[in-house]
Amino acid sequence: MSIFDKLAGFTQARELMALGHYPYFRTIESEQDTEVICDGKRMLMMGSNSYLGLTNHPRILEAAKKAIDKYGSGCAGSRFLNGTLDIHIELEARLAEFVGKEAALSFAAGYMANLGAIQAMVDKDEFIVTDKFDHASIIDGCTLSGGKMLRFNHNNMNHLETVLQKRVAGGNALVVVDGIFSMDGDIADVANICKISKKYDAKVMVDEAHSIGVLHHTGAGASMAAGCTDEVDIIMGTFSKSLASVGGFIAASNDVIHYMKHHSRPLIFSASLPPASAAVVLEALKIIKEEPERIDRLWENTHYMMKNFKAMGFNTGSSCTPVIPLHVGHLMNAFKMWKQLDDEGVFINPVVPPAVPPNDTIIRTSFMATHTRAQLDEALEKFEKIGKRVGVLK
């Protein structure tokens, strides 16, 4: 039997395509903004992670162009060898300052940052303790490390303590959580996670991918918002959301970053961050500092959408951030809502098994500082109409 035999047996995606209910790999023909063009049609973008709306900011575009003029398009090697530029060093110093740590290290993708940090820090006889709702990149980092992964119930501090007390039992452990959980839109209880972890001498890592640019008045994320920057040992972040670029970083003490530079396989054996990507992040950090009103507008839009979704009767779960899931029940409800919203010109993201249980599928919405009230109202009207038509709303 060939390893390719299983390919012929994978029919689910083609079946959805035939039904017109395939929602993935949609082609966008315009810039990532509050409105996009898909197949020549105007769409209200209600599913982007560009929380501060910086991807088409004139200063961002100019920074990328200048970096290409100076450095070219790429580095042609890894950071470990010929791929370290002075702009990488400048960026890492600024990132460390931004999140309140001594040092930082950039990666070519946020996914690689989680893999690189966890793999480097945890050995096969040590423990990684994760929230059951943690991002896939954290889970994959645990697998790459060879460490013993233990999971605690989502945001359940009693269960976290039980795991550390009874299962780790004095072993070396790293507790890893998302700052904002990417599907449910709720916030990790960072303060109590730190308190419980320190009680059992475990180290703490917070993935700030969805919380940078969103939480704390500076946009520094969940750790800063909880007043726990010093207690959180490792902070991870991505560039592909609020920071309008691509890539990721780890911030920690000088000793931790020095160790990662020499032990992180995803860093050592992959090409370094392109110079234009680094320049964009530097400029985005400047804009966030100079235009704090963007974060205020993001939260105004978030509260407005949350209030209206709840008033309509949508179940938004435990969300309290710009990531607002609409729990729509059965799998086909998610596909029907996606298809009909898509037909109405609203771009959203359906989330189906195995990411969620079969009878608790969600429509993942996410909002931007740059959405206008008119755009939000237009979308709300369509959410309500289609929610009633599908039977999600009474």
CA distance to 43, 54, 278, 293, 379, per residue, from 60 (Å): 23, 7, 11, 18, 28
Of the candidates 50, 145, 182, 270, the residue annotated as catalytic is 182
List the end-to-end C-alpha distance of the chain, in Å, as a whole number. Answer: 52
Distance CA 179, CA 210 (A): 7
- Per DSSP bridges, beta strands 361-366 and 349-351 are antiparallel
Distance CA 241, CA 249 (A): 13
Distance CA 391, CA 372 (A): 28
Q: Active-site residue 124, yes or no? A: no
Q: Beginning with the edge strand found earlier in the chain, give each strand of the sheet holding 346-347 in spatial order.
A: 35-38, 41-45, 346-347
Q: Active-site residue 240, yes or no? A: no
H-helix segments, the chain: 5-8, 12-19, 58-71, 86-99, 110-121, 136-145, 157-162, 190-199, 222-225, 254-263, 265-268, 275-290, 293-312, 331-343, 373-390
Of the candidates 88, 135, 148, 210, the residue annotated as catalytic is 210
Of the candidates 57, 88, 135, 241, the residue annotated as catalytic is 241
Distance CA 383, CA 392 (A): 10
Question: Residue 369: what residue type?
Answer: A
Q: Active-site residue 210, yes or no? A: yes
What amino acid positions are annotated as catalytic residues? 182, 210, 241
